[in-house]
Amino acid sequence: MDKIALVSCVSKKQYYPCAAKDLYQSTWFIKAKAYVEKHYSIWFILSAQHGLVEPSDVISPYDKTLKSIPSEARNEWAQNVLDEIKRLTNNSSEIHIFAGETYRENLAPKLNDAEYVVVIPLKGLAIGKQLSWFNGHS
């Protein structure tokens, strides 16, 4: 079974277009990226603006967050992400989501309905505990 990691975008970004894996600059994202690059052969970024993004995709900075859009639009975003995941993977994949509730709330149930196994390693952990988790598991 393939294990695939999904890492959420963050608000702190470079000021110029670059590979998505280098665009996001928060301590959390840098630690998440280091962890998934070490432990997963396949990973994607969950972008509020672009949906499912390959780490090497060149994108420009943006200011959109899922928290800033209506619930119906978040559900549509999740469906688009699911459609991309289905296109790029098979449903025997195990999807590990490194993202907050706003990113997971519509996506995780859709992945489960599509028969993916969903794992949320950081569920219930506050940001400080998440950073400690990455430090302890890297």
Whole-number mean pLDDT of the chain? Answer: 94
Q: Residue 54 is encoded by which pair of tokens? A: 């390959």
pLDDT tens profile 84-115:
999 998 777 899 999 999 999 999 999 999 99
Rounded CA gap, 130 and 136, in Å?
Answer: 10
Torsion angle (degrees, nearest 10) of CA 64, 69, 72, 74: 40
pLDDT at 61 over 80: yes
Burial of 129 (0-12, 13-18, 19+ CB in 10 A): exposed
- The better pLDDT of the pair 75, 90 is held by 75
Q: What's the predicted TM-score (pTM) here?
A: 0.95
Task: Give domain limits for the chain.
Answer: 3-131
Average pLDDT estimate for 6-14: 94
| Domain spanning 3-131, CATH architecture | 3-Layer(aba) Sandwich (3.40)
pLDDT tier for residue 131 given thresholds of 50, 70 and 90:
very high
Q: Residue 46 is encoded by which pair of tokens? A: 């969950």
